[in-house]
Chains A and B, each alone.
Chain A
Amino acid sequence: MLKQINMSQSLSMNRSMSQTNGATLNGTWLFIFIELLLFAGLFLLYGVYRYQNQIAFNLAATELSISSGVINTIILLSGSFTMAITSISIRSRNKMLSLLLLITTLFIGFMFLVNRYFEWKGRIEFGLFPGSEELARLGHGDVLFFGLYFFMTGLHALHLLAGFVILTMGTVRVNNNTLTADNPDFIDKAGTYWHLATLIWVLVFPLFYLL
């Protein structure tokens, strides 16, 4: 029996011969780093704007619904959870469960976007959107806060939409048996990307809703 030697370097930089203990370094991770860098820039922007407008940012945050934010966070965490256990179910050759979990993850992501829609709708109805007169009247600090809010949550929602496409591809492949326990990499990579979206949200949530 040919022993398959795994020559890929794990992110821990240990050369493992037959088993990787962690995620392997591949293009997906390069993409993850790039996206994190993008959001890091936005966090830095938030930091500077907040420093310049401490009080305005404090007050503007009260315009956002904390419960909506908490619900969104829990929604996204459960989506990551279902995605994570898909990695297990695909390896135990449980096609039905894998399909169910992938579709559940998609549904959960959809719920997040629905919630995002209603949140945005609420702010827009109050006149709190980039370019509105109401916002301009409130002052520069509020303009910056809501500009950042819409941009960062919007960019995050775009990432989720891209995740939808990837997950749909995964679901189709699991369904027509081109993605099985013999080649589960796609699920791992799709999962990594999806967890990135969760990770970003977990960091964005306190900055806009709690503080």
Chain B
Amino acid sequence: MDNKNTQVGSYKSYTLVFIGLVILTLISTALNNLDLGYLNVVLAIGVAVLSAIIVLTTFMRVKLNGSFFRLLAAGVLALALLIFFVAFVG
């Protein structure tokens, strides 16, 4: 019943992912200090979404292949773009 056979990552891979995520956060914060106009918004949200995807695929081990998940990803992307454009472009 229980999944002791579930593949988990290794100590090393999780450590690298963690360090990568922290670096992404710091980069995103640093970029925010520059004045890049509309790019500020794109980069901030882009980095956030990238971090979210990294957490989903590595820590939560969600494997997103198959037609159902392509559909799901397309839907989520459409929603995200909608929110983005409504909020920041108007």
Q: Do A and B bind each other?
A: yes
* A interface with B by C-beta (< 8 Å): 4, 6, 8, 10-14, 18-24, 40, 43-44, 46-48, 50-51, 54, 66, 70, 73-74, 77-78, 80-81, 83-85, 87-88, 91, 181-185, 188, 191-192, 195-196, 198-199, 202-203, 205-207, 210-211
List 16 interface pairs A-B (beta carbons < 8 Å), by A numbering: A13-B65, A20-B5, A23-B6, A47-B86, A50-B87, A78-B18, A80-B18, A81-B15, A88-B8, A88-B10, A185-B3, A188-B3, A202-B48, A202-B51, A202-B52, A207-B45
Residue from A6, A14, A198, A202 with most neighbouring chain B CB atoms (10 Å): A202
B41: Cβ under 8 A from any A Cβ: yes
Q: CB distance A70 to B14 under 8 Å?
A: no
Q: CB distance B29 to A66 under 8 Å?
A: yes
**Chain B neighbourhood of A85, CB < 8 A:** 11, 14-15
Residue from B4, B15, B17, B44 with most neighbouring chain A CB atoms (10 Å): B4
Interface of A is mostly: helix
Contact of B61 among A23, A198, A210 (CB under 8 A): A23
* B interface with A by C-beta (< 8 Å): 1-11, 14-15, 17-18, 21-22, 25-26, 28-29, 32, 40-41, 44-45, 47-49, 51-52, 55-56, 58-66, 68-69, 79, 82-84, 86-88, 90
Q: CB distance B29 to A48 under 8 Å?
A: no
Cα A8 to Cα B3 in complex, Å, equals 9
**Chain B neighbourhood of A83, CB < 8 A:** 59
Q: CB distance B11 to A88 under 8 Å?
A: yes
Contact of B25 among A10, A22, A73 (CB under 8 A): A73
Q: CB distance B62 to A203 under 8 Å?
A: no
Cα A52 to Cα B18 in complex, Å, equals 37
Q: A10-B63, A12-B65 are in contact. Are A54 and B90 (CB under 8 A)?
A: yes
CB distance from A97 to the nearest CB of B (A): 10
**Chain B neighbourhood of A74, CB < 8 A:** 22, 25
Q: CB distance A22 to B63 under 8 Å?
A: yes
In the A-B complex, list the 3 residue pairs whose CB atoms are closest, starting with the nearest. A22-B63, A12-B63, A47-B87
CB distance from A64 to the nearest CB of B (A): 12
CB distance from A22 to the nearest CB of B (A): 4
Contact of A19 among B5, B14, B55, B61 (CB under 8 A): B5
Cα A198 to Cα B39 in complex, Å, equals 25
Q: A77-B18, A85-B11 are in contact. Are A184 and B62 (CB under 8 A)?
A: no
**Chain B neighbourhood of A8, CB < 8 A:** 3
Q: CB distance A198 to B55 under 8 Å?
A: yes
